[in-house]
Amino acid sequence: MSSMHERFAAILVEKFGLGADEISPTSTLEDLEMDSLALVELVVSVQKEFGVVIDDSELPGDATVADVIALIGARQQEAA
C-alpha cells in the first residue's frame, strides 16, 4: 500500500469510523456508505491532509478509493 493510501485510509478511519479492513483500493464510496454530507466532510479532510481542493461533485458513488487517491495525486501535480 502506498503512503497516499494509508493517509487517505486514516481519514476514513478517524473521521468516519470505518474499519481499516473495510478499506481497499477497490472499495467504492458506495461500499463505504459515503452519503452526500459525508462527501463534503471528506473533501474538507482531504484538503487539510493533502492541500488540494476537490469538489464533492467529483466523487460519484462508483468512484473507488484508488480513483480518489489518483484524483488527489493529479491535483497535487497540477499545483506543483
Catalytic sites, residue numbers = 35
Using the rule CB under 8 A, give the single segment among 5-13, 18-26, 40-48, 67-75 that binds other proteins.
40-48
Mark residue 33 as left, alpha or beta (left: phi above 0; alpha: psi -120 to 50; beta: remaining). Answer: left
**CB-neighbour burial class of residue 7 (10 A; exposed 0-12, middle 13-18, buried 19+):** middle
By CB under 8 A, residue 36 contacts other proteins: yes
Amino acid of residue 47:
Q
Among 14, 22, 35, 79, binds other proteins (CB under 8 A): 35
By CB under 8 A, residue 72 contacts other proteins: no
Instruction: Please give the residue ranges that form the binding site for other proteins (CB under 8 A).
Output: 29-30, 33-38, 40-41, 44, 56, 61
